[in-house]
Structure 1
């Protein structure tokens, strides 16, 4: 068993790995500490759509669990070849909501040797915040980190010095919104029902973690970074260009509107669009547009809308350093 899963041996030092399994994607980060900073050795992502249909049925499908476990098995092989000594596997919204999440846990343990930690929303929010601010020094504190996933969106306020000051997780994400309001997948859709629902959840989030108490808004994760590629006019995915980029409200709204109104086929042809995100990006763009507009309305003195390529995946890795 230890030969298959060397991270069970409890060795200190060396390389660590983090796996983040969300509603839509599963991601792997391998890295090590160097001169007091965390250095990436590998960062990769695959769309597996673990949460397909879970909002409607309450269950993870057998096919979705199998897809995810097969990808996790590939990640375990990559970790073995890279010489990883410690591994943490975190699962979020879809597995948190599913009645049969024990089936998912068993499949992942068979694939990687450890059970996934199905974290609650507040812990997910804290990991996202830690990852986002770990290498984003330009944003003025206090900041609010917005992590839009496939099944949930985290709103986290804090500062690099004080850490998390407030957080809330809302059950809205790109996959969940798209499945709940299928009309938004059409070109130039009627978004009225979806927007009303999204805004009602933003109201609840803003009551818990007010936009008025922060100086900067920081968006993280695949929805936001994909929209940012459009805002930057990129011809391919370029994490270095995306990270620490700053936008006006209008720039971000314009790019969100493009994602909302374009056809799925057109979105699939974008050179920076990961296969498997093109049919749910409109739902994520609706969430991000409504959040940035609400933040600007509630806080006219907001000093910046930032984007970070670092997020919960980095927070998971840093938690085991």
Structure 2
């Protein structure tokens, strides 16, 4: 039976992730899944440029991934970059560095392409009826509605955990006025984006903000992918966990046993995105399904 061994890299605003998997007859077998918090999008919202230190951090992680890819003998390598690379005027400098290491040039996904990859990665295997996938990244958030493999509507919005934390939540912990200003901004962005959207039967949340909020809602003693993947949480519990996280200091968040230390300073911004999305969406459900599969898996499926 023919087998494709693919290496997929998702390079976002906050993290860079690697998935090496065998894809055989429409089935994916995961070999390696890695993540590094590199903050490629550090201050991009303010400067419009990738900082030299951020580029070096990300290229350092890319070199580590290149060694794994060679060791595992991947047949195809696909490197996709998202919000930070879309926004930065010096993205070619970063792309040149990646190409010199991996031999492939990064594909900078449009918001629509990012949304589609998120939907495919998130819903494959979950089989939800007419789902809305919520993918909260560091620089942007993608909302996608579809049924099976058919996408009927999508949007990509410049609201992400890093972007919002840098812009609206500079204090530690953020006072009520900062949180309120951020929430008001989110409502202004979200309300017209989802206006006229028909109610959805399922909400599937993906990516690090959502899975971390889920771990908090579940009260996990450590980060546990098996406990998080497929978890069905009430909207009220998810929103409660969001507001709990945004009110904490960075030190208190970092002390949570499931919290990745590189996410502690920006989870507040991401949590507010999730809270306002659940407030603004027309829902026919009181449940959020959490998926550990996301755009990274969609990138891998797109490599064959």
Q: How does 1:159-308 map to 2 (within 5 A)?
A: 159-161=147-149, 163-183=150-170, 185-186=172-173, 189-190=176-177, 191-207=179-195, 210=197, 212-295=198-281, 298-299=282-283, 301-302=284-285, 304-308=287-291
Residues 1:74 and 2:68 are matched in the alignment:
no
Distance 2:171 2:116 in 1: 31
**Which residue of structure 1 aligns with residue 116 of structure 2?**
126
Equivalences, count: 302
Instruction: String of CA shifts for 1:131-164, please: whole Å, max 9, x gaps.
Output: 0011213x3x111001000000001000115x21
Instruction: String of CA shifts for 1:46-66, please: whole Å, max 9, x gaps.
Output: 100000000000000111111
Distance 2:23 2:161 in 1: 33
Residues 1:104 and 2:94 are matched in the alignment:
yes
Distance 2:300 2:112 in 1: 17
Q: Is the 8 A contact 1:246 1:305 kept in 2?
A: yes
Distance 2:256 2:170 in 1: 22
Q: Pick one of 105, 115, 137 that aligns with 1:149.
A: 137
Residues 1:50 and 2:40 are matched in the alignment:
yes
Where does structure 2 lack aligned partners over 5 or more consecutive residues? Answer: none
Distance 1:315 1:258 in 2: 31
Instruction: String of CA shifts for 1:225-281, please: whole Å, max 9, x gaps.
Output: 011011111111111111111111211011111111111001111121112100000
3-state SS in 2 of match to 1:84: coil
Instruction: String of CA shifts for 1:162-219, please: whole Å, max 9, x gaps.
Output: x2111110001000000111346415543111011111111132037x2x34211111
3-state SS in 1 of match to 2:134: strand
3-state SS in 2 of match to 1:244: coil
Q: Is the 8 A contact 2:4 2:24 kept in 1?
A: no
**Which residue of structure 1 aligns with residue 292 of structure 2?**
309
Q: Is the 8 A contact 1:188 1:262 kept in 2?
A: no
Where does structure 1 lack aligned partners over 5 or more consecutive residues? Answer: 1-11
- Which 4+ stretches in 1 moved above 4 angstroms? none
3-state SS in 1 of match to 2:50: coil
What is the aligned-residue RMSD (CA, Å)? 1.5
Deviation at 1:110, TM superposition (A): 1.3
**Which residue of structure 1 aligns with residue 30 of structure 2?**
40
Distance 2:65 2:239 in 1: 36
Distance 2:65 2:170 in 1: 35
User: Aligned in 2, Cα 1:291/1:272: closer, same or farther, shift over 3 Å?
Assistant: same
Distance 2:8 2:105 in 1: 13
Distance 2:24 2:78 in 1: 20
Q: Is the 8 A contact 1:13 1:85 kept in 2?
A: no
